Amino acid sequence: MPINPESVGTTGGPSSRSWTSKDALLYAVGVGAGTSELQFTTENTKDVAQRVLPTFAVIIGGGGIPMQAVGSFNPALMVHGEQGIELLDEIPPDGEIESTGRIAAIWDKGSAAVLEFESESVNKATGKPLLRTRSVLFCRGEGGWGGERGPSERITFPDAEPTHQATYATREDQALTYRLSGDRNPLHSDPSFAALGGFDKPILHGLCTYGFTGRALLHELCGGDPARFRAMNARFSKPVMPGDVLTVSMWAGGGEALFRTTNQAGDVVIDQGRCRYEA
């Protein structure tokens, strides 16, 4: 069955997902956290309680989406277009959530379909909402049914120097660590598979780049305190290669910030970023 635009509004779930302290630690290392961030990379450092990076939400959240209602599309022609997270409470080092999801929108771009999904997760230990996620998929070759094209607004970044900026180097083997958090797509590990996609070598996971970006926002805007981190949303604009150097530029004020991430050549790899935080 092709893409079914009538599925908009369909809900799914609930689905459960649990995680351990080790899962959170592995994720932190996978997105570049190291010896200067022991609260995220260790669980037994003297006088340092383990905490969880806010972008871990992309690993545990997103459940309950009724994908079967969307119809069919070629996964080889699908790319992750945007990702958003909203933290309603601080993620604990271990726990279990129950998630419900919905198909929020399906847009017809002519040569492609854009699928938008939303999910909300409740902490089973407290019964309170913990986080929300938003994902947008761009499916090439699936448009053309005459539907609405959807919104096309773009952020205009200030014509001024960033108020905050952070630069992180990714490792040549970064994807091999990140994949252990769940995304085993060989595009990120197998040179022969990457070549089929037109790449000289395996590329970094988009959500790994998202995690590096989230670390920069956390440390620059929230003083490294996850309890102050509220939300982030951004578009993926260009693949990142393991070993690339990433610079996150932020224009912040009043608990909100615009941001984008560039590589060492100045190419924008994450764009149209918005963040909310407790100032």
C-alpha distance from residue 132 to each of 81, 158, 212 (Å): 17, 28, 20
DSSP, residue by residue, 8-42: TT-EEEEEEEEE-HHHHHHHHHHTT--TT-HHHH-
- Catalytic: which of 32, 206, 211, 273? 206
Is there a catalytic annotation at residue 188?
Answer: yes
> CA 213, CA 249: separation in Å to the nearest integer?
9
- The whole-number pLDDT of residue 1 equals 58
The pLDDT tens digits for 212-247 are 999 999 999 999 999 999 999 999 999 999 999 999
Asked if 212 and 33 count as a contact pair (C-beta separation under 8 A), the reply is: no
114 strand-pairing partners? 107, 138
Annotated active-site residue 219? The verdict is no
Q: What is the CA radius of gyration of the chain?
A: 19
Per the CB < 8 A criterion, the answer to whether 99 and 62 are in contact is yes
Going by pLDDT thresholds of 50, 70 and 90, the confidence category of residue 153 is confident
Task: Check 97, 106, 203, 270 and give the catalytic one.
Answer: 203
Kindly report the pTM of this predicted structure: 0.96
Establish whether 206 is a catalytic residue.
yes
CA–CA distance, 269 with 165 (Å, rounded to integer):
15
pLDDT in tens, 79-131: 999 999 999 999 999 999 999 999 999 999 999 999 999 999 999 999 999 99
Instruction: State CA 269 to chain mean position distance.
Output: 13
In this structure, what is the dihedral angle of CA atoms 138, 143, 149, 154, given to the nearest 10 degrees?
30
Catalytic residue among 59, 95, 103, 188: 188
pLDDT at residue 76 tops 90: no
pLDDT in tens, 181-213: 999 999 999 999 999 888 999 999 999 999 999
For this structure, is 182 an active site residue? no
How many Å apart are CA 213 and CA 14, to the nearest integer? 30
Range 59-73 average pLDDT: 96
Q: Which residue has the tokens 């660590």?
A: 177
H or E element that contains 73: none
Measured between alpha carbons, how far is 244 from 264 in angstroms, rounded to an integer? 7
Of the chain, the percentage scoring pLDDT greater than 90 comes to: 95
| 254 CB neighbour count, 10 Å cutoff | 6
Catalytic residue among 23, 108, 183, 244: 183
Q: In what order do the strands lie in the sheet with 245-253?
A: 11-19, 95-108, 112-123, 128-140, 78-87, 229-236, 268-277, 256-262, 245-253, 164-169
Q: Which domains does the chain have, with CATH numbers?
A: 5-140 (3.10.129.10), 164-277 (3.10.129.10)
The whole-angstrom separation of Cα 181 and Cα 100 is 21
Q: Are 182 and 172 in contact (CB under 8 A)?
A: no
